[in-house]
Amino acid sequence: RDEIRQKLQINEDVPLICYLGRIVESKGVVVLLQSLISIQDHISFKLILIGSFGSNFGEKNKSIITDEEIEIKRLISILGEKCIVTGFIDEQDLPGYLSAVDIGIVPSICEDVSPLTYFQFQAMGKPTIVSDGGGIPEFYSPDYSIMVKRGPDMINELAEAICKLIENKSLQKRMAGFAVKNREYLGIERLYNDFMEAVLED
């Protein structure tokens, strides 16, 4: 944690919010940036965006720039030094970066079936803020997450949830504890057991 924070030049007392995944509108990046812009003058934080721009997986072809990417970068520029974009990070290096994070956010506005990042944050014992997109509610618990609804009020709801977690360190700590306890249930065995249960019910 200390090593990564020093590398990113983030003081220990600054809350670090993390988005992990493809940096595209459908994953809620625009909504997240808009919500943080709305509160940036009122609360201390840093945002780290881990991932590549666009819908490809892995490193991005830098010669292809879309209108969506231009808009996302415009919003990032408004946040200025409050936002750090790492680009693609190799899987073996992710735990180090996630250890430096205080709050994970999974703000999908699409019908996200089962976003891996939600489980990665849980496995690292991080409190999370998630949307109600797709299959996310099936893995949600208020013990370790706050859920916001997609729709016209999502920007405000997300901003309120972020402020709530940042301002309440005891809530952060409690949710982190539940996330760690839930870690043992994440993986292939749980997926298989849930699948078998669903099949046998029919």
Instruction: For residue range 48-72, list pLDDT tens digits in order.
Output: 999 999 866 555 556 567 889 999 9
Q: What is the pLDDT of residue 181?
A: 84
Q: What is the pLDDT of residue 188?
A: 76
DSSP letter assigned to residue 152: T
CB 50 within 8 A of CB 93: no
If residue 21 lies in a helix (H) or strand (E), which one and from where to where? Answer: none
CB 108 within 8 A of CB 147: no
CA proximity to 103, closest of 146, 148, 39, 149: 146
Residue 83 in 3-state DSSP? Answer: strand
If residue 20 lies in a helix (H) or strand (E), which one and from where to where? Answer: strand 16-20
Angle at 67 between CA 64 and CA 70, to 5 degrees: 85
Provide the CA 188 distance to its chain's centre, in angstroms.
22
The string of pLDDT tens digits covering residues 149-181 is 999 999 999 999 999 999 999 999 999 999 888
Q: Is this prediction's pTM over 0.85? A: yes
pLDDT mean for each 10 residues of the chain (202 residues): 91 95 95 98 96 71 77 96 94 93 96 89 94 92 95 97 96 92 76 84 72
